[in-house]
């Protein structure tokens, strides 16, 4: 008797082909998105702008992603997941190669925003495309591989940009990342297989968004995405400025290695779901928020070891919390389910843009203490929202049971 499920099982050639392609796509997308983060001080000097203004090198891109996720999700319903992702990644590759050549900061920010709109095609579509390509039994590992690609892409983009910046300047640093991303994009374009399940049309965009806006559980998660991601990006944006000054006096190339903390995030985002066997997901999320707050306090100490330990714990806890929150979105959604993950992504990247910039204002007013106070406040508010929603739904153990 033939198997009616046309999707690829674990270990099959189609499964391996899809995983290689999506790993490369995740690497290319997040390497380009966050490559300026490790070189913001030199970028600010090169363009003659302030520390908080320099954050728009990243903020403009994440605004573009926030603007693009819903249109790309809807486009993929009409033209197919793979054609939409191919168009998005090809456009992002071309724009990414042009960004380091921009002569002024205004042009640079505009091009980075446009690049973000193109890059949005991947986070908007990837998980849905995986579900339509890989059988459910193998879905967790496949999504984990994609997430690993995004995490490693963010890590490699930051380190490569900073290392090349130390040798030849920030434009060459970003150019090197753009070339690396172009190579990964070409692998994606060649290797990505067609999905095995036809995309559904779902509700019209406006009706789907309104349905989610009327669902408190979804909106709490969108707010948490905004607050946690915004605080996370703010911390990383201005950590480089702190570590370049006394008592640390590190070079940007040395500071870039702090991004190895992302490996803790890659591990935590996969491990954290094991904890939900014994603790309810919302309970795990609250523990992660508490760990983020404790870790932030370590970064206030004038000890490099304490700062490194703090940022590793902070990063792992953030990615664990993000993994839980993003995993709960579809579970809590009703009508308009296909638009709930893009709406979560919209909150996620809007927070990166808005609070990443606000962290610069806090840094200007109060130095690293000001930034950590702001990040601590956003993290605490995210925890309060999670606890408050659970309390209205029977408690932490019952809310997502």
- β-bridge mates for residue 334, sequence order: 336
**Euclidean distance between CA atoms 55 and 360, whole angstroms:** 7
3-state secondary structure of 6: coil
- CA distances in angstroms from 117 to 60, 69, 181, listed in the order given: 10, 8, 16
Superfamily of domain 202-401: MFS general substrate transporter like domains (1.20.1250.20)
3-state secondary structure of 93: helix
Superfamily of domain 10-201: MFS general substrate transporter like domains (1.20.1250.20)
Average pLDDT over residues 308-332: 88
Q: What is the tens place of the pLDDT at every residue in 352-392? A: 888 988 998 999 999 999 999 999 999 999 999 999 999 99
Q: How confident is the model at residue 112 (pLDDT cuts 50, 70, 90)?
A: very high
Q: Domain limits of the chain?
A: 10-201, 202-401
Cβ-contact 201, 30 below 8 angstroms: no
DSSP label of 199: P
3-state secondary structure of 32: helix
Q: Could you tell me which residues come within 8 angstroms of residue 196 by beta carbon, excluding any fewer than 6 positions away?
A: 6, 7, 8, 132, 133
Q: Could you tell me which residues come within 8 angstroms of residue 102 by beta carbon, excluding any fewer than 6 positions away?
A: 108, 111
Q: How confident is the model at residue 1 (pLDDT cuts 50, 70, 90)?
A: very low
Average pLDDT over residues 231-243: 90
Q: What is the tens place of the pLDDT at every residue in 82-111? A: 899 999 999 999 999 999 999 999 999 999
Please, is 77 exposed, middle or buried when counting C-beta atoms within 10 Å of its C-beta (0-12, 13-18, 19+)? middle
Q: How confident is the model at residue 248 (pLDDT cuts 50, 70, 90)?
A: very high
């Amino acid at each position: 008797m033939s198997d009616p499920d046309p999707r690829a099982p674990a270990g099959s050639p189609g499964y391996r082909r899809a995983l290689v392609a999506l790993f490369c796509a995740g690497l290319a997308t997040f390497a380009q998105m966050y490559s300026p983060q490790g070189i913001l001080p030199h970028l600010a000097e090169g363009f003659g702008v302030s520390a908080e203004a320099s954050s728009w090198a990243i903020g403009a891109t994440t605004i573009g992603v926030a603007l693009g996720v819903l249109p790309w999700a809807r486009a993929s319903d009409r033209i197919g997941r793979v054609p939409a992702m191919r168009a998005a990644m090809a456009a992002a590759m071309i724009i990414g190669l042009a960004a380091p050549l921009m002569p002024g900061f205004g042009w640079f920010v505009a091009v980075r925003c446009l690049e973000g709109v193109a890059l949005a095609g991947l986070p908007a579509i990837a998980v849905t495309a995986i579900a339509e390509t890989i059988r459910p039994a193998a879905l967790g590992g496949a999504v984990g591989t994609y997430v690993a690609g995004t995490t490693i892409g963010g890590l490699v983009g930051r380190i490569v940009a900073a290392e090349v910046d130390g040798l030849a300047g920030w434009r060459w640093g970003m150019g090197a990342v753009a070339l690396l991303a172009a190579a990964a994009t070409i692998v994606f374009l060649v290797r990505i297989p067609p999905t095995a399940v036809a995309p559904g049309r779902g509700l019209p965009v406006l009706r789907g968004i309104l349905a989610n806006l009327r669902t408190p559980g979804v909106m709490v998660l969108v707010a948490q995405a905004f607050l946690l991601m915004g605080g996370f990006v703010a911390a990383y944006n201005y950590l480089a400025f702190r570590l370049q000054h006394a008592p640390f006096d590190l070079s940007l190339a040395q500071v870039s290695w702090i991004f190895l903390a992302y490996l803790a995030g890659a591990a935590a985002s996969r491990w954290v779901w094991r904890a939900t066997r014994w603790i309810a997901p919302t309970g795990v999320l609250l523990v992660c928020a508490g760990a983020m707050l404790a870790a932030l306090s370590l970064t206030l100490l004038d000890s490099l070891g304490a700062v490194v330990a703090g940022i590793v714990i902070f990063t792992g806890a953030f990615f664990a919390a993000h993994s839980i929150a993003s995993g709960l979105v579809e579970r809590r959604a009703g009508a308009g389910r296909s638009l709930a993950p893009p709406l979560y992504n919209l909150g996620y990247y809007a927070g990166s843009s808005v609070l990443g910039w606000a962290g610069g204002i806090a840094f200007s007013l109060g130095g690293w203490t000001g930034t950590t106070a702001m990040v601590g406040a956003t993290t605490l508010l995210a925890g309060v929202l999670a606890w408050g929603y659970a309390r209205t739904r029977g408690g932490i153990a019952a809310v997502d049971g």
